[in-house]
Amino acid sequence: MSTERELMRVVIVGHVDHGKSTLVGRLFHDTGSLADGKLEQIKGMCERRGMPFEWAFLMDAFQSERDQGITIDTAQIWFKTPKRDYTIIDAPGHREFIKNMITGAASAEAAIMLIDASQGVQQQSRTHAFLLNLLGIRQIIVVVNKMDLAGCDERTFAAIKAEYVRYLDEIGIVPNFVIPAVARDGDNLVHRSERMGWYQDGTLISALDSFQSQGELRALPLRLPIQDVYKFDDRRILAGRIVSGRLKVGDRLLFSPSNKVARVKTIEAWNAEPPLEAEPGQSIGIITDEQIFIERGEIASHEKAAPIETNVFHGRLFWLGRKPLTRGDTYRLRMLSRDVQVTVERIEAIYDPDSLSQRPAETVERNEIADVVLRSYALLALDEADDNPQTGRFVLSDGANIVAGGTISMRDYPDQRKLVTVRSTNITAVAHRITNTQRVSRNGHKGGVLWFTGLSGAGKSTIAMAVEQELFRRGYQTYVLDGDNVRRGLNSNLSFSPEDRAENIRRVGEVAALFADSGQIVVTAFISPYRSDRRRARAAAKDGFHEIYIKASLETCEKRDPKGLYRRARSGEIAEFTGVTAPYETPDAPELTIDTDRLSVEESVAAVLDYVDRKFRKHS
Amino acid sequence: MNHLDRLEAQSVYILREAFNRIEKLAMLWSLGKDSNVMVWLAKKAFFGHVPFPVMHIDTEKKFPEMYAFRDRYAQEWNLSLIADKCPPVEEVDQTLPPAARSAARKTLGLRNAIERYGFNGIIAGIRRDEEAVRSKERVFSPRGESGQWDFRDQPPEFWDYFNTDLPPGTHLRVHPLLHWTEMDIWRYIAREKIPMVELYFARNGKRYRSLGDQDITFPIDSKASTIEEIIIELEQTRAPERAGRAMDRETEDAFERLRAAGYM
C-alpha cells in the first residue's frame, strides 16, 4: 500500500474577475489532476451554450453560477504534486460574499492572492490581505495574473509588486513569493513561462511545495477544551480535542475557569491501544483520578502555564451580521466549547483596510472590521492571539447564526485568576482582622456545622428547623441550609445527575464552612448519601464539623413519605432515588446519631440541643 | 498525526459536537462504504457506543447482500436501527428524469422519518469530492421546513465553529465525512479493518464502486478483489466515482435539483 501523503489547504483570494477560477482550472489540468472526461464534459457544455471554452467552468459547477458568470460559494477541490496533495479553497471575490470568503479562508494553511496586471491593486486585494492577516494565515503567494495584457512587461510587474508589497508590509504581511503569470495559458503555474524569461524565481507549484504544514502548535502550552462528558458505561470520560500542547497520562491538569485540579488516569480509546500521550488536533477522551465536577466549556491546561482568566477583553473582529453591531448589545460569545453571553462595552475604532485608517463609530456595519471591548458576567479562560492562535480567538452569534469572528488582546486588562480565591490553586487566603476568639467572645459560642445526613423522610428538615428555632431563642447565631432552598438559587444550575449531586453537596459544604467561620452554627439538611461527599464537607469546615446521622429505617421513611417521593420512585417516575434505586452510605463514625424510629420529634430536637450546649458553649 | 489520523480526529470532533448540541439526532446508514466508516467513527467518538439511532431509508430495491449486511452488523455493532420503507415512486416529483425520480423516493422517505420521529439533526456521509454540488456543502447545514437546502445563502462556518442553533421547524444536516476523499475512505477501511458489503470486491471482472438501488446502479470493469487492490485501482483510475450512478448525469442539473429538494 502506498505511504500516506500530506495534505495542505490553500485558499485563493482576489478581486472579482481577476481570474481565480481560471487559475484553478488550469492548475488542475497542468498537474494532471482532472478526472477523465471532465475536460470533455465542460467543453461539451460550452458548445451547447455557444460559448468559448472557459477553464473557470470547472469550479463554477452550479447552474446558477454558470448563468450569472460568478462563483457563489466556497468550493473545495483537490490537486496533487509529487510532494503532497492540495485542497484548493476558492473564495469568491465579490464584496457581498465576504462571509463565504472567510468561511473558506479560515481553515487554510497558505494563501494565493491574485492580482490582475492590467488593473493593478484594487480595494479587494487590500481587504482580502487584511482579512487573511486577521485569520492568522502567514504563508502567502502573490500571483500577478493576465501578464499578457501588460505585454508580459517586467517593469509593469515590478511596479505592481512594489505597490502591493508596501501595503502588505504596513499590515504586517511579508509575501513569500510574488509571481508573474498568465493563468489561462499556464505561464509560471506548473511550467516556467517562456514569454517572461526575465522572471527567475519559482513557479506557483514550486512555491507551494516549499511551504510547511503547521507544526508550531505542539510547542505551545497545553489547551484541551472540554467538549462533553460521557457516561455511556461505568466510565466517566471527559472528551475534547487538544488545540495546542501535549498531554500525558499522569499529568496534573488544571481546569479553567472552575480551577479544579485532577490527574490524568487514562486516555481512553476504542479499537486501538489506549495512548499514553496526545498532541494538537487529536480528539481524545480522558479519565481523571478524582471525580470532579467538570462541564463542557472548561479548558484543561497544566498548572504552570494556565490560560488567562478575565471577564473583559479587546477583540478585533470582522462583522458579518445583517443588523449592525451596536454598543450595549448582547451576543453569544463562543470560545472553543465555551458559550456565554457578552455585552459590547465599547466600539474603539473601525478599520478601513483600504487606507489602513481608523475612525470612531457607534455601530459596525456588515463586512466592517472593528476593535471592540467585550464584557461577560461569567469568568472566561482565554489567551491572547499573539500567544495562542487557537485560544486567542472567538466568534459571536446572534440567534442561530455566527455573526462575527475575531482575535483577542488583553492590553491594559489584568489576569483575574489571582483575584479569584480558590482552594485548588496556590492562592494565599486573606487574613481577617477579626480573630476567631473575638467572634466567640462576642457571640458567646463557637461557630460550626451540624451536618444532618439520612434518608429522605428520616426527619432531617423537621428537626433542623426546630433546632434552629430553639437555638435562636437561646441566643445562638444560627441558620439552616436546606436542600430545596439552596437549589432555588446558589445551585439552580445543577441537575440531579450523580456529578451534579456531588457538586451540590460540595457547594453546600463550602458555604456551610464560611457560615461557621463567621461564627454561626449552621445546620445543613441534605440526604448527602455518599461518604466521599461528607468527607469533603468535613475537610472544608475542619474542626467545626459535626456529622449528625438522622437514622430511620427505609420502611419507616417510606411509610412517612411526606412528599410522596417514595411512591413516585417505586412507580419508576423518579429514576434515581436514594434508598430505592440509589445507595445510601451510612456514616462510619458520626459525632451523634438520632434514631427517629425510637425518638419523637421533640426528643430528637432535645438530643441535638443538648449536644450543642455541650460542644459549642464558650467555655466548653 | 498522519493524514488519516487528522481526518478521523476531525470527524470525531464533528460527531461529538452534533451529539452535544442537537437534541434529537439520527445517523443515516445506507450500508455503503462511506456510511459504514461513519458508524465506525461514531464508535470511535463515543468509545464503543453509538448513542443515537442509525437509520436506513429502505427503498426495498437494495441488493440482497446489503440487507444481509445490515441485519448482521446492526446486531454486531449494537446499533439502534430504524429501517422504515420509502413511499411508492408515484408520490415523487414527476418532472424529474426516471433515475432521479427513483432517488427522490429516498428524499421523501427521509422527510417522512424526520417527521415521524421528530429528529432535528441528521448525520449524513456525503463527501466534497464525490460530486461538484456536494463540494459546496457546510459541515452543519441547515434545512428548511420541508428539508430543502438554500445553497445561495449559507451561514458562515469557520475555525470549526458550527451553526448549531436552528429555528423551529427546521433541521440540521451534519456531514462528518465532508473532508474525506474516496481514497481516504478505502485507506481507512484497510487500516481499521472495517467490514464491507462484498459487492465492492470484483467477481467475474466486475465490481461496484458506489452502491445505490439495484435498478439505477451499475458495476465497473475491475479485477480488484481486495481492499489493497481497490486502492491500487483508485490510484490509477481517472474515472469519476459516481460514474455508475445513472441519476447524476441524466440532465445537467438533475443532481443539483435533488440536493436542493433535500437529497443526501
- Taking only the tens place, the pLDDT of each residue in A144-177 is 999 999 999 999 999 999 998 988 888 778 899 9
Q: What is the full DSSP assignment across A84-100?
A: -EEEEEE---SGGGHHH
In a domain, A422, yes or no: no
Does the beta-carbon distance from A4 to B253 stay under 8 Å?
no
Q: Which residues contact B30 (CB under 8 A, 6 or more apart)?
A: B56, B57, B125, B211, B264
The reply to whether A333 and A467 lie within a common domain is: no
User: Quick check: A106 contacting B, CB < 8 Å?
Assistant: yes
Q: Which of B8, B9, B172, B17 is nearest to A336 (CA)?
A: B17
Chain B nearest CA to A135, separation (Å): 9
Cell numbers for A379: 469568568
Separation between Cα atoms, residue B160 and residue A228, nearest integer Å: 16
Torsion, CA A255, CA A257, CA A258, CA A260, rounded to 10: 30
- CATH 3.40.50.620 at B3-180+250-260, yes or no: yes
CB of B155 within 8 A of CB of A402? yes
Chain A residues closer than 8 Å to B46 by CB? 230, 232
CB pairs under 8 A between A and B: 155
Give the nearest partner residue to B128 out of A76, A107, A402, using CB atoms.
A76
Top-ranked range on mean pLDDT: pick from A179-193, A497-511, B135-149: A179-193
Report whether pLDDT(B39) > 60. yes
| pLDDT score at A69 | 35
Does the beta-carbon distance from A1 to B235 stay under 8 Å?
no
Does the beta-carbon distance from B192 to A270 stay under 8 Å?
no
Chain A nearest CA to B85, separation (Å): 30
Chain A residues closer than 8 Å to B155 by CB? 99, 400-402
The angle, 0 to 180 degrees and rounded to 10, between the axes of the packed helices B33-45 and B3-21 is: 70
> Which of the residues of A are catalytic?
528
Gyration radius (Cα) of chain A, Å: 33
In a domain, A429, yes or no: no
Top-ranked range on mean pLDDT: pick from A41-50, A566-575, B150-159: A566-575
Give the nearest partner residue to B1 out of A35, A45, A279, using CB atoms.
A279
Report whether pLDDT(A98) > 70. no
Chain B nearest CA to A602, separation (Å): 50
Give the nearest partner residue to A4 out of B3, B46, B165, using CB atoms.
B3
Determine the longest span between alpha carbons in chain B, in angstroms.
52
Q: Which of A469, A367, A444 is nearest to A127 (CA)?
A: A367
Interface test mutation site (partner A, options B41, B161, B237, max chain A beta carbons within 10 A) = B161
pLDDT tens digits along A466-493: 999 999 988 899 999 988 788 888 888 8
Q: What is the full DSSP assignment across A95-132?
A: GGGHHHHHHHHTT-SEEEEEEETTT-S-HHHHHHHHHH
Does the beta-carbon distance from B3 to A232 stay under 8 Å?
no
Does the beta-carbon distance from A270 to B235 stay under 8 Å?
no
Q: Which residues contact A358 (CB under 8 A, 6 or more apart)?
A: A349, A350, A351, A352, A371
Separation between Cα atoms, residue A352 and residue A412, nearest integer Å: 24
| pLDDT score at A2 | 40
What would the mean pLDDT of A400-404 be, rounded to a whole number? 86
Interface test mutation site (partner B, options A36, A232, A235, A283, max chain B beta carbons within 10 A) = A283
Q: What is the full DSSP assignment across A174-189?
A: --SEEEE-BTTTTBTT
Chain B nearest CA to A14, separation (Å): 19
How wide is the angle at C-alpha A360 spanned by C-alphas A354 and A365, nearest 5°? 65
CATH number for position A389:
2.40.30.10
Does the beta-carbon distance from A77 to B49 stay under 8 Å?
no
Does the beta-carbon distance from A402 to B155 stay under 8 Å?
yes
User: Quick check: B159 contacting A, CB < 8 Å?
Assistant: yes
Report whether pLDDT(B251) > 70. no
| pLDDT score at A62 | 38
CB of B114 within 8 A of CB of B171? yes
Cell numbers for A449: 456545622
The reply to whether A119 and A145 lie within a common domain is: yes
* Residue given cell 457571640 in the structure block: A443
Torsion, CA A353, CA A357, CA A362, CA A368, rounded to 10: 0
Neighbouring CB atoms inside 10 A of A572's CB total 8
Domain boundary among A209, A237, A271: A209
What ipTM was reported for this prediction?
0.91
The reply to whether A143 and A286 lie within a common domain is: no
| pLDDT score at A383 | 95
Chain A residues closer than 8 Å to B235 by CB? 2
Contact map slice: A 263-322 vs B, CB within 8 A: 268-271, 279, 281-283, 285, 296, 320
What would the mean pLDDT of A265-286 be, rounded to a whole number? 94
Domain boundary among A382, A413, A444: A413
User: Quick check: A395 contacting B, CB < 8 Å?
Assistant: yes
Q: Which of A295, A169, A304, A188 is nearest to A245 (CA)?
A: A304
Chain B residues closer than 8 Å to A38 by CB? 240
Does the beta-carbon distance from A270 to B51 stay under 8 Å?
no
- Mean pLDDT (chain B, rounded): 86
The reply to whether A182 and A327 lie within a common domain is: no
Amino acid letter, A22? T
What would the mean pLDDT of A361-390 be, rounded to a whole number? 90
Q: Which domain holds residue A234?
A: 217-302
Chain A residues closer than 8 Å to B129 by CB? 77-78
Band (pLDDT 50/70/90 cuts) for residue A418 is low
Neighbouring CB atoms inside 10 A of B191's CB total 15
What would the mean pLDDT of A57-79 be, rounded to a whole number? 48
Q: Which of B122, B143, B89 is nearest to B260 (CA)?
A: B143
Does the beta-carbon distance from B6 to A281 stay under 8 Å?
yes
Contact map slice: B 211-250 vs A, CB within 8 A: 228, 231, 235, 237-240
Task: Return the domain boundaries, chain B.
Answer: 3-180+250-260
Task: Report how many domains make up chain A.
Answer: 4
Top-ranked range on mean pLDDT: pick from A51-65, A405-419, A505-519, B234-248: A505-519
According to DSSP, residue A337 is labeled: T
What would the mean pLDDT of B6-15 be, rounded to a whole number? 96
Torsion, CA A119, CA A121, CA A125, CA A126, rounded to 10: -150
Does the beta-carbon distance from A282 to B5 stay under 8 Å?
yes
Chain B residues closer than 8 Å to A405 by CB? 156, 158-159, 161
Contact map slice: B 173-202 vs A, CB within 8 A: 181, 187, 190, 192
- Mean pLDDT (chain A, rounded): 85
Separation between Cα atoms, residue A208 and residue A211, nearest integer Å: 6
Gyration radius (Cα) of chain B, Å: 17
Report whether pLDDT(A74) > 70. no
Report whether pLDDT(B99) > 80. no
CB of B37 within 8 A of CB of B123? no
Domain boundary among A302, A323, A343: A302
The reply to whether A577 and A500 lie within a common domain is: yes
Between A65-79, A126-140, A309-323, B62-76, the lowest mean confidence (pLDDT) is in A65-79
The reply to whether A201 and A230 lie within a common domain is: no
* Residue given cell 439526532 in the structure block: B25
User: Quick check: A496 contacting B, CB < 8 Å?
Assistant: no
CB of A308 within 8 A of CB of A223? no
Quick one: what percent of chain A has pLDDT higher than 90? 47
The reply to whether A16 and A147 lie within a common domain is: yes
Strand intervals (E) in A249-391: 252-256, 260-267, 277-278, 283-288, 299-302, 308-319, 325-326, 330-335, 338-352, 357-359, 363-364, 369-382
| pLDDT score at A483 | 80
Report whether pLDDT(A190) > 50. yes
| pLDDT score at A73 | 38
Band (pLDDT 50/70/90 cuts) for residue A431 is confident
Chain A nearest CA to B165, separation (Å): 5
User: Quick check: B94 contacting A, CB < 8 Å?
Assistant: no
Contact map slice: A 14-43 vs B, CB within 8 A: 34-38
Q: What is the full DSSP assignment across A358-383?
A: EE--SEE-TT-EEEEEEEEEEEEEE-
| pLDDT score at B257 | 73
| pLDDT score at A92 | 57
| pLDDT score at A422 | 45
Cell numbers for A333: 460569545
What would the mean pLDDT of A214-242 be, rounded to a whole number? 90
Does the beta-carbon distance from B161 to A271 stay under 8 Å?
no
Chain B nearest CA to A320, separation (Å): 8
Between A67-81, A432-446, B224-238, the lowest mean confidence (pLDDT) is in A67-81
Q: Which residues contact A189 (CB under 8 A, 6 or more apart)?
A: A23, A26, A27, A30, A181, A183, A203, A204, A205
The reply to whether A36 and A168 lie within a common domain is: yes
Neighbouring CB atoms inside 10 A of A183's CB total 26
User: Quick check: A234 contacting B, CB < 8 Å?
Assistant: no
In a domain, A28, yes or no: yes
Report whether pLDDT(B166) > 90. no
User: Quick check: B2 contacting A, CB < 8 Å?
Assistant: yes
Name the residue with higher pLDDT: B131 or B213. Answer: B213
Does the beta-carbon distance from B128 to A228 stay under 8 Å?
no
Cα A518 to chain center, whole Å? 38
The reply to whether A169 and A42 lie within a common domain is: yes
The reply to whether A275 and A341 lie within a common domain is: no
Report whether pLDDT(B179) > 80. yes
